[in-house]
Structure formats: C-alpha cells, structure tokens
A and B are shown apart, each in its own frame.
Chain A
Amino acid sequence: MTTPPIAKKSVSISIAGAGGAGAMTAGGILLEAAGKSGWYGMMNRSVGPQIRGGEAAALLRLANHPVECMSEGFDLLIAIDWKNASRFAAEMPLKKTGLVIADPSAGDVPDAITAYGAEVIEVEIKKLAKSVPGGRENMVAAGLAAGFIGLSEDFLMEIINAKLARKGDAAVESSRLCLEAGLKAAAEIARNFEIGAADMKNKGRWLITGNEAVGLGAIRGGVRYAAAYPITPATEVLEWLSPALAKIGGALVQAEDELSSINMAIGASYGGRPSITATSGPGLSLMMESLGLAAAAEVPVVVVDVMRCGPSTGIATKSEQSDLNIAVYGFHGDAPHVVCAPLSVADCLYTGQWAVHLAEAMQVPVIVLSDQSLGQARVLMKRPVNLSFLANRKVYKQQSDEPYMRYAITADGVSPMAIPGTPGGQYTADGLTHSVRGTPSTQRSDQQNQMDKRHRKVADFDYGIHWGEVSGVGEELVILTWGSITAPAKEAIRTLNSEGIDVKLVAMRLISPFPKDALLEALQGAKRILIVEQTHAGQFHSYLRANCDLPGEIRQFHRPGPHLISATEITSQIRDWAQS
C-alpha cells in the first residue's frame, strides 16, 4: 500500500522592525528551528539604504517541502514597529486570510498594510519585552510566530543557547522568557497557520545562503585561491571564502580594487591554482579588460557576479538580471568564454562547482551570474549530493626534448598548459596575438588559427544535461527564463498546472555559449513562449532572438527591480494568454 503524497503546504511570515530591532535575528532563529523540525524554508531580507538602522524586515517562507522562492502572499506580519513600513509594504503583500500582529504603542497600522484587508490583532510586544529584564521585542515576535505555526520551544531554545552562549546565562534566560511570552500570546489569540507534517525521512538539512553556496561549490570544484574587493551584494561570497580557504590550505587576498582582484586571480591560476573572485556589476565592468586577457592567454578563472539593480551604483541591495549583456558581450574583440547562472539558491552550489570545472577544463574565464535574490537568501535544503565536477586542467609534463608549444592547435582546442616550475615548459602567457609557441605575432594565420582554437574549445565542449532545466506539463505553452527567475516561474507553473493549464518550463543555466540545439529541442512543439526576465530592456529576449529562431508565438514579460518578479505576476501573464 502506498501512502498518499503529503499535501504541499507553506506559511509565509514577515517580521518587520527598525534596523536595530533584530527582525533578521528573529527570522534566522525561526528558519533554523523549522529546519530542526524537519521542515524546509527560506528567508530573504528587505533592508533600506541605511548602513545601519533604518527599516528591516525578515521575509520567511516555511514549508513541508523544499521551496525556492517567496510565496504569492504573506500569512502573517508581525510588526515590532512601523518605521518606514509603508516603504516596504509592497514587498510583503498580505493574504486576505492573513493576520497582522501590531503593537498598539507603535501607533496606527499604516494604510498600505490595512489595505490588504487582513485581520489585525494587537499585542503589546514592547511591553511584554520590557517585563523581562534585558528582554527584547524580537524574541517576543519570534515566540508569536512560533506559536502560530506550531514550532517547538525546545528547538528554538537549542538555537538560542548556541547563539547566545557567549553572552552568558542571563541573556539566554531573558530570551527564553520573551519567547515564552510570545508563545503564550499566540496561544491566546488561537489562530492556526500550521505547516503540516514534517519531512522527517530526509533529515540532515543544510541552512545556507546562495553566496555561501557558490563559494562552497567553488571549493568543492577545486578552488584554492580567491582575490577580493568588497561590493554589495557579493561581499558574503568573499567573507565566507576567506576563512574557509584558510582552513584547507588556500587563501583569499583582499585587493586594492577590482582591476587588481581579477589580475590576482588570473596570476594565481597561471601558477596552477584554480582561482575565483566575486563582485557585482560595477566591479565586473572594471574587470572586463583583464577577462579578455584571460580569454586570450587561456587562463582559467571564475568570476561570480552577484547582480544588483544597475546601471552605475543603482540599487545595491536589490536584485536584477541586467548584467546579462555585459557578461556575454562586454569583452572587446572576439573572446570566447562561458556565462552560466544558478537557477535557485541551492543551485548556486551546483553551478559554482560546475563553473570551476568548465573554466579549468577549457582554460577559459567563466562568469557566473548570480544575483541578490539568490545570494542573500538563506534556505533550508536537503543535504546536497557530491558532484563529479572537478578542476581537471590539462597540464604539460615534459616527455621529450620537443620544444613546448603552449598554444598548440589541438582537435578540441585545449592545449596542455605548463605550470611554472615545470622544466622545459617555460613560455610567456600573452594577451598579444601569438603563435603556437606563445611568441607575439601579427601573422594573419596566427590570428585566424588561435581564434578558431579558442572558439572551438568553448563551442564544441559537451555541456551535457547541465545546460538547463526542463519541467512542467505539456509542450505547447512554455515559460522560457534563466537564472533566479526560474524559481518564481516554477511556482507559477505549479499553480497553473493545478488549475488545469498545461505549462512547460525551460530554464537556461548555460547562457553562453548559446546552447542552441539543446534549447530548440526543449522547445519542440511549442506554440506559445513567454520569455520572462528581470531587466528593463529585455536583454534575454534580444539575446535569444539574436541566436536562434524561436518556434511559435512569442511574448515577453520583463521589468527592472527592485521588486523581484513574483510567481503571481507570471501566473497572470499566462492566464491572460491562455484565455485569449
């Protein structure tokens, strides 16, 4: 007898408060406790432009199944205060069936919130916190949320104990009392937002952000050197890599700017160590010239671009996919390279590791287009499996007295690379057009042959099934997207499929070289294709159109940040079209 599948359920919670109120800490504790309880979930943050303080909201979605994006609406909003709440009200739409917990001492519930029509119940959060010596409102808020969703106090205390152990028993005790005050208040209100049965078969959850995951993926792939210049929202990749590399015999070095960091990474890789750097749009712009050097001199290197709203400084804390063009086209000259993009937070691990493998196998620069919505989101995921993507560089070993030809023309375009220290392998890596030996050349044949070779190694590489993801139902109606928008697209497709509308998903992990054959095969039978992306200009759409003839009727849905494209927006685009 098979047991029927457990119905997928999720609850979305937002905890809002001024910057110092600790909303993010409360959210983090709830997320981790949910993981210990056998649930899944993710947390994103909404922060304002202030360096410290200002508004902050922890946006949580907890579920009995793995989730990859925030949901269509929030069930629960717990407001420690309303500072600047109207600014981010649009980012946390409340369901009509939802519940707002408001502290009467914080003043009236803003119109932007009441407009959602959810029930409002007052709880004196501040007063409850003040009744405990050293008590804090965010712990009362955590207790309230835990009470509504049925999280056990034991798991919460386990986490608080671990987090506050350094601060002493008194701090732990006051947190416990605040938590209990919140739990008690929730019990009195008696509204139920329970998530449902936990998935206890798949224990061993990981709690990880996209920025950490891409770093770990790189290390799993073999990276042992990183160079860094801080930039939001990529800094956490570097801050995670720094101590991590130090523990495994590698190193991260802070550079004076991105012109330096990319060159440090290229220099280390030339020395035989798989290397990485991470940045965001402005930094990527500074790196472009040297990425061209890596392409010409055939030095593997991985650059993670955690995209934010652009151009220029844009909105540093918010997501967009608008670096697609620079990643694909930003090089001067013809410079074959690889651009790939993780399809979810958990996929940052996979794509990060794959990127290292690709860079090393082809001796090319690889740009990974992550973004703020992936990088800074924290998710509960199943323990990932080990992947076979490893740094496996074709290196030169002295075998005969034949002179070494660094840029020898080979069938697959990849030539054995001599690592400094190898006798007989001395050559000069060069950004100047060169002969097979590496000697600078202005010969037409050298320009042609070396170009052909560099093109061939990237174009003919077997990217296998990793180029993208195909799922959903049917083949006639397709959502075609890439990178982080895959998660809301999948969510939209689940909703549409449950309404009886057949929709297929085609999501590209490999952006460049353009996986034309695989894409067109995945689109076979398509009559209507909706292209979805988070850019103002429709960069992805133009890129697709420039590279292939898409079948059927094409529509596009694209808009800039700062608010992420939601599943709801995609769903309504498809519904409208399906009915027309």
Chain B
Amino acid sequence: MNIPSNSFTNKDFTSDIKPVWCPGCGDFHVLLSITKALAALGRPPEDIAVISGIGCSSRIPAYTNCYGFHGVHGRSLALAAGLKVARDDLTVMVMSGDGDGFSIGGNHFLHACRRNIDMTYIVMDNRVYGMTKGQPSPTTEPDWDSALSPGGSGLNPFQPLVIALASGANFVAREFSGNIKSTTQTIIEAVKHPGFSFVEILSPCVTFRPDEKEWKKQVHSASVEETSDPAQAARRIMTDDGMNTGILYRGTRAPFKSKVSDEHGDINALEQDFEI
C-alpha cells in the first residue's frame, strides 16, 4: 500500500451531525469502517464524494465530512455514474440499502456492474425495509412475517453476490458491520481496485429484525481464498450460506474510461459541419 501523503484519522471524515439511526443499528459500525478506510486511503475529504439513495442506510453521506449527495430512492448508482464520468479525479463511494439497491434500484445495479466505472458500491443489507418500518426487501427470507406480507412473501431471496459476479462487477466481497477491522480493510481494497467494486455489508436492523442481533455469532470468514477466476468465484457462491465474509472476487477487467476533461475543444469545428 502507498504511504499516504496526508495522515488522517477517521475523525477527519466524520461530520458533527448526529445520525438518526436507532441505538444499536449496524449502520453506525459501517460509518466507522468507512471513515477509517478513507483515513487510511489518505485522500483529503474534499476529494471524496459519498452518494446515496433513500433509506436509513442512505442517510450516511451527511454523517461524513466528504462531499455528499443524498438522492432519490434507488438511483444512487446513476447519480454516482454521472459524477464519476464527469469528474474522474474524485473518489466516488456509493452507499445503499437492500431495498434501495436491489429492489427499486435493481436495474441500475446490473448495469453499474456491466459498465464497470471505477467506484465502490456498499450495500448495507439488513434484509428489511428499515426506514418504512419493516417490510420485506429482496433479500428477506420468504417466511419472514410482516404486516404488509403476512406469513411471509414466499419469494426466493435475491442473491447480490451472484448477480454482481454474473453482471460483471470487478470486485465482489461480503462483510459484517460488527467486524470493523476486516470491513475497513475490505473497503480499502475495494476503493483501490480499479472498476466497479461491490461490497455487501450485513448490517443488522435491531428494530425491525431483532433476530439479526445473532448475526455476529453466525458470520464466519469464507473457507475459500479470494480469486480472480470468475468460475472459481461462482463455485464458492454455490456453497454460500449467505453468512461467509471476505473478498470473493477481484477481477481484471479494464474499467470504463472517462473522456471528459477540462480542455475546451474547438466548437467552430463542430459548427463547420452545418455550413454548406
């Protein structure tokens, strides 16, 4: 790892705004891991943009001391793609929830993986819609009972890592919010890796999924080493219990190349095409 020219601590990346989250929400830990990772990466806060959609998790930009954009529900990846292509010099972090990222924003997820723009996508997966007070999300178990879907949705859970891999993401990992050290390290790796990096962070919703407090006992590091071979990564995913953590895949696909620059080309040359 390069020795950063500036030495920062996570405080330099943390704002003075008090989060709205419930006490004990996993997202506090995610915020801590992100700010620690950014400090370790060594770029100043003004060169980082944190982009999000809507949800408890998506509140995170304002809690950092970076540039932030809290957009509309589900469209954070598009907002971030526009920003990164227009401003390739920035480090772009996209933060989402499982509803925001996989349900209303599901289509953008596929195409962001395909497009492979150099940015890091972190989804705080709590397998529930927190902000709207407890409805099933795409990653919720089929038999999870709720007012909106009594007796459960009956639907097969969405597999974010499988989809990311199949859609062309260049870096795929899973972490647990409570494991701050390894989450921080994985975020550092994700940001440093060129192209589209996807990190699913299991982040308990203590209010609507109190059962998820057990996650800290259930998660375990993956028994298989990370790989740059998609076939091997796919095999590991086949035996995934949804609880194994660590880096799964680190691809070698060249990232999307932005051609936007500060140079101003000659508009007259464009206009000549219309002259007869």
Asked if B47 and A421 sit within 8 Å, CB to CB, the answer is yes
- Which B positions have Cβ atoms within 8 angstroms of A? 17, 20, 44-47, 49-51, 59, 61-62, 65-72, 74-75, 77-87, 89-90, 107-108, 110-111, 258-267, 269-271, 274-276
How long is the Cα–Cα vector from A426 to B259 in the complex, in angstroms?
Answer: 25
Which secondary structure dominates chain A's binding surface?
A: mixed
Show 5 A/B contacts (Cβ-Cβ < 8 Å), sorted by A. Answer: A249-B259, A264-B81, A267-B79, A271-B86, A426-B46
Instruction: Indicate if A105 sits at the interface (CB-CB under 8 A).
Output: no
How long is the Cα–Cα vector from A263 to B107 in the complex, in angstroms?
Answer: 14
Instruction: Indicate if A297 sits at the interface (CB-CB under 8 A).
Output: yes
Asked if B80 and A267 sit within 8 Å, CB to CB, the answer is yes
Asked if A268 and B82 sit within 8 Å, CB to CB, the answer is yes
A250-B69 contact, Cβ under 8 Å, with A219-B267, A263-B82, A420-B49: no
- With a 10 A CB-CB cut-off, give which of B77, B78, B108, B275 has the most chain A CB atoms: B78
Asked if A244 and B78 sit within 8 Å, CB to CB, the answer is no
Closest 7 CB pairs of A and B: A267-B82, A248-B265, A428-B68, A264-B82, A268-B86, A263-B78, A260-B78
Having A423-B46, A432-B70, one finds 7 other A-B pairs with CB under 8 Å, namely A206-B276, A253-B85, A264-B81, A269-B86, A418-B67, A431-B70, A439-B17
* Contact partner, A268, options B51, B62, B85, B276, Cβ 8 Å: B85
Chain A residues whose C-beta falls within 8 Å of the C-beta of B262 in the assembled complex = 249
How long is the Cα–Cα vector from A220 to B69 in the complex, in angstroms?
Answer: 28
Chain B residues whose C-beta falls within 8 Å of the C-beta of A269 in the assembled complex = 82, 86
How long is the Cα–Cα vector from A424 to B67 in the complex, in angstroms?
Answer: 10
* Contact partner, B81, options A204, A267, A380, A428, Cβ 8 Å: A267
Chain B residues whose C-beta falls within 8 Å of the C-beta of A316 in the assembled complex = none
How long is the Cα–Cα vector from A272 to B153 in the complex, in angstroms?
Answer: 44
A255-269: CB near B (< 8 Å → 1, else 0) gives: 111011111111111
* Contact partner, B69, options A32, A275, A383, A428, Cβ 8 Å: A428
Quick one: closest B residue to A268, CB to CB?
B86
Chain B residues whose C-beta falls within 8 Å of the C-beta of A244 in the assembled complex = 270
Distance between B88 CB and nearest chain A CB, rounded to angstroms: 10
Instruction: Indicate if A515 sits at the interface (CB-CB under 8 A).
Output: no
How long is the Cα–Cα vector from A244 to B265 in the complex, in angstroms?
Answer: 10
Asked if A429 and B85 sit within 8 Å, CB to CB, the answer is no
How long is the Cα–Cα vector from A380 to B85 in the complex, in angstroms?
Answer: 36
Chain A residues whose C-beta falls within 8 Å of the C-beta of B71 in the assembled complex = 263, 266, 290, 293, 431
A246-B82 contact, Cβ under 8 Å, with A270-B69, A426-B65, A431-B70: no
A290-B72 contact, Cβ under 8 Å, with A35-B276, A224-B260, A260-B78: yes
A249-B261 contact, Cβ under 8 Å, with A293-B71, A428-B69, A431-B72: yes
How long is the Cα–Cα vector from A426 to B43 in the complex, in angstroms?
Answer: 14
Give the contacts of A219-269 with B (CB-CB under 8 A).
219-220, 224-225, 227, 244, 246-251, 253, 255-257, 259-269
Chain B residues whose C-beta falls within 8 Å of the C-beta of A266 in the assembled complex = 71, 79, 82
Asked if A421 and B90 sit within 8 Å, CB to CB, the answer is yes
Asked if A271 and B87 sit within 8 Å, CB to CB, the answer is yes
Asked if B62 and A253 sit within 8 Å, CB to CB, the answer is no
How long is the Cα–Cα vector from A418 to B68 in the complex, in angstroms?
Answer: 11
Asked if B62 and A439 sit within 8 Å, CB to CB, the answer is yes
Asked if A267 and B51 sit within 8 Å, CB to CB, the answer is yes
Distance between A10 CB and nearest chain B CB, rounded to angstroms: 19
Interface size class of A (residues with CB under 8 A): 35 or more
A429-B70 contact, Cβ under 8 Å, with A256-B107, A260-B75: yes
A430-B62 contact, Cβ under 8 Å, with A32-B276, A248-B267, A266-B79: yes
Instruction: Indicate if A212 sits at the interface (CB-CB under 8 A).
Output: yes
Chain A residues whose C-beta falls within 8 Å of the C-beta of B81 in the assembled complex = 253, 260, 264, 267
A426-B45 contact, Cβ under 8 Å, with A256-B107, A270-B83: yes
Chain B residues whose C-beta falls within 8 Å of the C-beta of A36 in the assembled complex = 276
Asked if B70 and A248 sit within 8 Å, CB to CB, the answer is no
Asked if B269 and A247 sit within 8 Å, CB to CB, the answer is yes
Asked if A267 and B267 sit within 8 Å, CB to CB, the answer is no
Quick one: closest B residue to A253, CB to CB?
B85
Chain A residues whose C-beta falls within 8 Å of the C-beta of B275 in the assembled complex = 204-206, 383
How long is the Cα–Cα vector from A426 to B16 in the complex, in angstroms?
Answer: 13
How long is the Cα–Cα vector from A429 to B270 in the complex, in angstroms?
Answer: 35
* Contact partner, A260, options B90, B111, B269, Cβ 8 Å: B111
Instruction: Indicate if A422 sits at the interface (CB-CB under 8 A).
Output: yes
Asked if B274 and A206 sit within 8 Å, CB to CB, the answer is yes
Asked if B83 and A267 sit within 8 Å, CB to CB, the answer is yes
Distance between A333 CB and nearest chain B CB, rounded to angstroms: 12
Instruction: Indicate if A141 sits at the interface (CB-CB under 8 A).
Output: no
Quick one: closest B residue to A438, CB to CB?
B62
How long is the Cα–Cα vector from A271 to B85 in the complex, in angstroms?
Answer: 9
Instruction: Indicate if A66 sits at the interface (CB-CB under 8 A).
Output: no
Distance between B117 CB and nearest chain A CB, rounded to angstroms: 9
Chain A residues whose C-beta falls within 8 Å of the C-beta of B61 in the assembled complex = 428
Asked if B87 and A216 sit within 8 Å, CB to CB, the answer is no
Chain B residues whose C-beta falls within 8 Å of the C-beta of A271 in the assembled complex = 49, 82-83, 86-87, 90
Asked if A212 and B274 sit within 8 Å, CB to CB, the answer is yes
Chain A residues whose C-beta falls within 8 Å of the C-beta of B49 in the assembled complex = 271, 420
* Contact partner, A275, options B82, B111, B259, B270, Cβ 8 Å: B82
Asked if A421 and B274 sit within 8 Å, CB to CB, the answer is no
Chain A residues whose C-beta falls within 8 Å of the C-beta of B78 in the assembled complex = 255, 259-264, 267
A179-221: CB near B (< 8 Å → 1, else 0) gives: 0000000000000000000000000111110001000100110
How long is the Cα–Cα vector from A207 to B274 in the complex, in angstroms?
Answer: 5
Instruction: Indicate if A147 sits at the interface (CB-CB under 8 A).
Output: no
Chain A residues whose C-beta falls within 8 Å of the C-beta of B82 in the assembled complex = 225, 227, 253, 263-271, 275
Asked if A420 and B67 sit within 8 Å, CB to CB, the answer is yes
Quick one: closest B residue to A263, CB to CB?
B78
How long is the Cα–Cα vector from A32 to B84 in the complex, in angstroms?
Answer: 41
Asked if A425 and B46 sit within 8 Å, CB to CB, the answer is yes
How long is the Cα–Cα vector from A427 to B274 in the complex, in angstroms?
Answer: 43
Chain A residues whose C-beta falls within 8 Å of the C-beta of B87 in the assembled complex = 268, 271-273, 420-421
Distance between B113 CB and nearest chain A CB, rounded to angstroms: 11
Quick one: closest B residue to A219, CB to CB?
B267
Asked if A256 and B111 sit within 8 Å, CB to CB, the answer is yes
How long is the Cα–Cα vector from A267 to B81 in the complex, in angstroms?
Answer: 7
How long is the Cα–Cα vector from A219 to B273 in the complex, in angstroms?
Answer: 14
Chain A residues whose C-beta falls within 8 Å of the C-beta of B72 in the assembled complex = 263, 289-290, 292-293, 431
Distance between B129 CB and nearest chain A CB, rounded to angstroms: 18
- With a 10 A CB-CB cut-off, give which of A249, A420, A423, A430 has the most chain B CB atoms: A420
Asked if B75 and A290 sit within 8 Å, CB to CB, the answer is yes
Quick one: closest A residue to B87, CB to CB?
A271
How long is the Cα–Cα vector from A499 to B199 in the complex, in angstroms?
Answer: 74
How long is the Cα–Cα vector from A272 to B74 in the complex, in angstroms?
Answer: 23
- With a 10 A CB-CB cut-off, give which of B20, B61, B86 has the most chain A CB atoms: B86
Quick one: closest A residue to B262, CB to CB?
A249
Instruction: Indicate if A440 sits at the interface (CB-CB under 8 A).
Output: yes
Asked if A420 and B80 sit within 8 Å, CB to CB, the answer is no
Asked if A250 and B70 sit within 8 Å, CB to CB, the answer is no
Asked if A426 and B260 sit within 8 Å, CB to CB, the answer is no
How long is the Cα–Cα vector from A263 to B110 in the complex, in angstroms?
Answer: 16
